[in-house]
Structure 1
Amino acid sequence: MQILVRDNNVDQALRALKKKLQREGVFREMKLRDHFEKPSERKARERAEAVRRARKLARKALQREGLLPAKPKPAR
């Protein structure tokens, strides 16, 4: 992974690095590996994540078909 620092702006480069790491799931992985997780807990977590992903995909499909209203975007 490579981040370019432009005009000695380290803060901006650090923000970009954090965003890339977040997208890759590195922080989540570190949090999971911080403590031992029993195999039964891991299976339950992975099952719950799979259900969450499936529901999200179904919701997105229904929104595309127009059967569900899209989530309103927050006004700034």
Structure 2
Amino acid sequence: MQVLVRDNNIEQALRVLKKKLQREGVFREMKRRRSFEKPSEKRIREKSDAARRARKLARKQAIRDGLIAAPPRKAKFLARNQALPKTDGSRES
């Protein structure tokens, strides 16, 4: 994993690193490995994880098929896209 530090801004680089580690599931894995997990507990956890992934996949498929409405977009995302100037895709020099 690699994080670029720009203009000696270590705080921003640390935030980016933490976000990447969380996305990869490193923190979850560390928490799980702190103590021994019985095989029966492991089976139960893996079964519930699989069910969660299946529900998520089914929900995404239903949204793609138009069976359910997509969740509303976050205001931060919308504000950033509205602030950008609209272009027609052609480059003028």
* Cα RMSD (Å): 1.3
Please, which runs of 5 or more residues in structure 2 have no aligned partner? 77-93
Matching residue of 2:10: 10
Please, which runs of 5 or more residues in structure 1 have no aligned partner? none
Report the structure number with the largest CA radius of gyration.
2
Higher relative contact order, structure no. (Cα contacts within 8 Å, ≥ 6 residues apart): 1
Q: TM-score, normalised by structure 2?
A: 0.75
Q: May I ask how many residue pairs the two structures share in their alignment? A: 76
Q: TM-score, normalised by structure 1?
A: 0.90
Report runs of 4+ in structure 1 exceeding 4 Å deviation. none
Aligned equivalents of 1:15, 1:75: Cα separation in 2:
21
Matching residue of 1:19: 19
Identity %: 68
Aligned equivalents of 1:54, 1:23: Cα separation in 2:
19
Aligned equivalents of 2:73, 2:44: Cα separation in 1:
33
CA offsets 1:14-42 (integer angstroms, 9 cap, x no match): 01111111111110100100111111001
Say yes or no: does 1:72 pair with 2:77. Answer: no
